[in-house]
Amino acid sequence: MNLYETHIPVSDVKSALEFYGQLPGLKLALEQPHRNVAFMWIGSREQSMLGLWGPDSLYGWKGDQRFKSHLAIATTLDELLGMSKRLASLGITTKVNDDGSREPNVFGWMPSAQVYFSDPDGHSLEYITILDEMPDPEFTGTWSQWRGRKDRPKGKV
């Protein structure tokens, strides 16, 4: 099973469409101005979907308050390794690691590599890839640190 769709509240659907429309892997599926909502395909058509819900729409709003969300988009390792640079070319700043780098972060327990950034409404966004390596539950660090471990467990999951 996979997650098919998620929905987030946005302060302005048109602005959200401009932001999300420039992200790698997302494209407009349907816009319904009369409902103040839009839907975007993530990856290929009907693979997965993101719903953008404006004020006075059904999801994510309570009065004039909107709830911030987190969304992770799966991608390949090759795409992920170039993602910070690609996002920077769009004017999007990725979160900085403790060492000041903007390279992917790695959580060894999965293991996974990811790049984090935010949308204009403050939602937390992530591009992620699951690594085809042995887990290392004690490791959290950058991609370079992950690749440079001398005592790296051998084999694959």
Which pLDDT score, from 0 to 100, does residue 141 have? 94
Q: State the Cα angle at 93 between 88 and 99, rounded to 5°.
A: 105
Which pLDDT score, from 0 to 100, does residue 68 have? 81
Q: Is 85 helix (H, G, I), strand (E, B) or coil?
A: helix
Q: Do the Cβ atoms of 102 and 84 come closer than 8 Å?
A: yes
Instruction: Name which of 110, 104, 89, 112 is nearest 24 in CA terms.
Output: 89
**Range 140-149 average pLDDT:** 94
pLDDT in tens, 27-83: 999 999 998 999 999 998 888 999 999 987 877 667 777 678 889 999 999 999 999
CATH architecture assigned to 1-64: Roll (3.10)
Indicate the pTM of the whole model.
0.83
Within the chain, how many helices (H) and strands (E) appear? 4, 11
CATH class of 68-149: alpha beta
Question: Using 50, 70 and 90 to split pLDDT, how confident is the model at 151?
Answer: confident
Report domain extents, the chain: 1-64, 68-149
